[in-house]
Amino acid sequence: MALQARIRPGTGRSGRRAGRLRPERHLLPYLFIAPFFVVFGIFGLYPLLQTFWVSLHDWDRLAGPGRWTGLDNFTRLLGDSDFYTATYNTFSIFVLSTAPQLVAAIALAWLLDRKLRASSVWRALVLVPQYVSVVAVALVFSQLFGRDFGIVNWALEGLGIISSPVDWTADTWSSHLAISFMVMWRWTGYNALIYLAAMQAVPRELYESAQIDGAGRLRTFLKVTLPAIRPTVVFTVVISTIGGLQLFAEPFLFDQQGNAEGGAEHQFQTLTLMLYKYGFINNDAGYASAISWVLFLVIAVVAAINFLLVRRSDRG
C-alpha cells in the first residue's frame, strides 16, 4: 500500500517523457501547415503589399520609383472613363460566360452520371478543351467569328437569322458574346467533371427512395441531386467568379491588333487588359498597381456576395 501511495500518475519515467512530448505534439500541426503560410507570405502577401506601395508612387516600370503621390493614382482611376468601360465589359462578359457555363456543366454532369458504354472515354472527352492551348482556341474562334469568311456568320445567314455579316469585334454585344462562347467552350467540361464527382458521392439509397416514391428523373434531380451537391456549386460559383473577373487571354487574343485596347472604342477591354496596357505597354507601374488593387477589391466583394447568396439560398 505504501509503495502504491508513492507512485503517482505522470511521476515516473513514462510520465516525465509524456510531459516532455506534449509541447511537441501541440507544435506538430503548425509545422505541417507552416510551409503553406511561408509560400503564401512570399508569393502572395508580399507582392500584394508591394503592389499597394507602388500604387502610392509615380513609378515607371523601367526607370524605377519616382515621387510620392499618395492616393493620386486611385483618384485618377476613379475619374477615368475607360475604367468604368472596362468594369462594365468585365462584368458583362463574366455574366454571359459564367451563368450558362455552370448550368451547362450541371446538365452535362447529370448526363454523364449514368451507366454509359465507355464512360471513361466520354469523361475524358469533356476535358479536351483543357488540353488545347488558349492561344489556339482564340485563333480558332477568331476564324469562326470572322466577318467575311466566318462559319458563324455563314450559318446564321443560312438560317435567315441575319441578313448581312456581323462584325463580331466591332460592337459591344457581339464581341462580348463571341468571347463568352470561347470561355464557355474551355471551362464547361472542367466544371462538369467537378459536378460529376460530387454527384457520384451522393448516397444511392436516396435515389432508390425517390424511385420508390414515384419521382421521375427530373424531380429526383431537383429534389435529391441539387441539394446534395450545393457545397460543390458554392465552390464552383466562387472560383468561376474569381476567374471570370480576371479574364485576360481570351479578349487579348480576340483583338486583331493585339495592343490591349480591346477594340477601337474599348468595347471589350476588361480590367486585366487595362492593367496590362498601363503596366507593360505604357510602363506606368503606379497606375497599373492602382488598377490591380481595385480589381482585387472588386473580386473580393463580388466573391463574398456570391458566397453569401448561395449560402442563404442553401439555408432557405
User: What domains appear along the chain, each with residue ranges and CATH number?
Assistant: 12-55 (no CATH), 82-315 (1.10.3720.10)
Cut 0.75: pTM above it: yes
- 135, containing H or E segment: helix 134-144
**Quick one: DSSP state of residue 45?**
I
What's the pLDDT tens digit per position in 66-109? 889 889 999 999 999 999 999 999 999 999 999 999 999 999 99
- What is the reported pLDDT for 1? 45
- What is the reported pLDDT for 73? 93
Tens digit of each residue's pLDDT, the chain (316 residues) = 444 445 455 555 555 454 454 656 678 888 888 899 999 899 988 999 999 999 999 998 888 888 898 899 999 999 999 999 999 999 999 999 999 999 999 999 988 887 777 777 888 888 888 888 888 888 888 889 888 888 998 998 888 888 888 888 888 999 999 999 999 998 999 999 999 999 988 888 888 888 887 777 888 888 888 888 988 988 898 899 888 999 998 899 888 777 788 888 889 999 999 999 999 999 999 999 999 999 999 988 988 887 787 777 666 5
- What is the reported pLDDT for 2? 47
Q: Which residues contact 258 (CB under 8 A, 6 or more apart)?
A: 252
- 32, containing H or E segment: helix 13-40
Instruction: Find the angle CA(74)-CA(77)-CA(82) to the nearest 5 degrees.
Output: 165
* Cell numbers found for residue 194: 467537378
What's the pLDDT tens digit per position in 203-223? 888 888 888 877 778 888 888
- What is the reported pLDDT for 23? 58
- What is the reported pLDDT for 314? 61
Instruction: Find the angle CA(232)-CA(44)-CA(254) to the nearest 5 degrees.
Output: 70
First-residue to last-residue Cα distance in the chain: 65
CB 237 within 8 A of CB 102: yes
- What is the reported pLDDT for 32? 86
Amino acid at 111: L
CB 178 within 8 A of CB 254: yes
Mean per-residue pLDDT over the chain, rounded: 85
- What is the reported pLDDT for 297? 92
Distance CA 78, CA 42 (A): 30
- What is the reported pLDDT for 285? 92
- What is the reported pLDDT for 316? 57
Q: How far is the CA of 150 from the CAs of 11, 167, 171, 207, in angstroms?
A: 85, 10, 16, 46
The b-or-e profile of 118-157 (16+ CB within 10 A means b, else e) is eeeeebeebeebeeeebeebbeebbebbbeeebebbeeee
- What is the reported pLDDT for 292? 94
- What is the reported pLDDT for 225? 87
